[in-house]
Amino acid sequence: MPFNSGGFYQDEIAQTRTKAGPPCKLCNPGTYVIHGHGTSAKECEVCPEGTNQSRHAGYRACHCKDNYARMNRYGPCFLCLEEGLNCSHEFQSLLPGYAWNWSFPYANISYYEQFVVSLRDGPATATTNYTGEVPRIVKCPRLESCANDNESISGNCAVGYRDKTHNITRLRSDFDTDCAGLRAYHISAFILTITYVIAFPAGLLYLLRDNHSSRATDNSTLNVVTLDDESVDSSTPLLINDAPRKPAPQVWIKFFCESYKTEYWFWEIIELSRKVTQTLLITLFGWEDRLTVILTTCISVSFLLLHARCRPMNSSYEQGLQMFSLTVIFINVIVAANHFSDDDETAISVILVVLNIFVLMIIA
């Protein structure tokens, strides 16, 4: 029979439900079957980031850690950092003295309430994830006016305060909410992103290429003066440079290419492309996306091998430093792409911090 997603599987046939519970076997603590219908213990995967992997998963991707919340019943949990959030039950709600405005664009309190109801149930029977926005939290001017003691997502007023007053307080407190929409901000963000991702590297490549061409063609033309020339006297130099002098390149242009060998004048653009590509992948698609993990890992490996193969740096010290830095980045990516138990997380975090600090100390 089919099973809900969670920490269950069944590798035997002809099983029937009993009063004691579902006729299924339990995955090991900290593991779950993401799509349900598990037929083997091998299908139990490690629960995602932010979950308590010391407990049985239940009808979800493991329970969240303390002060963590989630947007997907079968997805990762995230730490609740914003002041005023109550994340004691795996979803975000308000602490007393705080309020939020659910009329914020792309926020839908009805869908979020459906998700919360599903999260509180046993087997999933309704919405298992919320894909909208959650509004920012603001502190109420009078903390006692925002009681938030009726377990509602929107919050409630204390006795003696009306909803109308409470709603006005929210709108006036959240000055960064544009009730007319955020289209102008989206357009501005798009233009700035295109400018940074495409226009800036392209412009820098043009300037570096122009600087390289100027250096390559700056071969001084020397004219030899013969001694039998009637115009020659004792003050006439034997070699005359008739080539026009080109202006020296700007200091900031030299900054981008002086560390590289002449034939690798463009290498800074390659480095910039690597950084921008990895940042965009993680920012736009999130680290939970498997394609992002694969592409980011491949980029790290490719650039590490490319740098080792070409050795573009002038200085062997800088070459070694860059190799070490790329290796540390690769290790960070590999660690982030894999899930580790809570017992190992502390040791791994310490190692990563030490490696990154070591890179900073060498640079300094």
Q: What is the pLDDT of residues 147-168, one digit of tens each?
A: 888 888 888 888 877 654 344 4
Q: What percent of the chain has pLDDT over 70?
A: 74
> How much is the pLDDT for 218?
52
- Quick: pLDDT tens for 13-24: 655 554 445 567
Q: Measured between alpha carbons, how far is 224 from 241 in angstroms, rounded to an integer? A: 9
Residues 6+ apart with CB under 8 A from 259: 313, 314, 315, 318
Report, as an integer, the average pLDDT of 287-302. Answer: 83
Q: What is the pTM of this model?
A: 0.44
In three-state secondary structure terms, 251 is helix
In contact, 87 and 100? CB cutoff 8 Å = no
**Closest by Cα among 122, 117, 113 to 57:** 122
> How much is the pLDDT for 362?
67
Strands (E), 27-91: 31-32, 45-46, 68-70, 77-79, 85-86
Per-residue pLDDT at 29 exceeds 90:
yes
Q: Measured between alpha carbons, how far is 73 from 91 in angstroms, rounded to an integer? A: 10
> How much is the pLDDT for 239?
47
Q: Measured between alpha carbons, how far is 109 from 212 in angstroms, rounded to an integer? A: 58
**Cα Rg of the chain, angstroms:** 31
In contact, 207 and 253? CB cutoff 8 Å = yes
Q: List the structure tokens of 281.
A: 């992948």
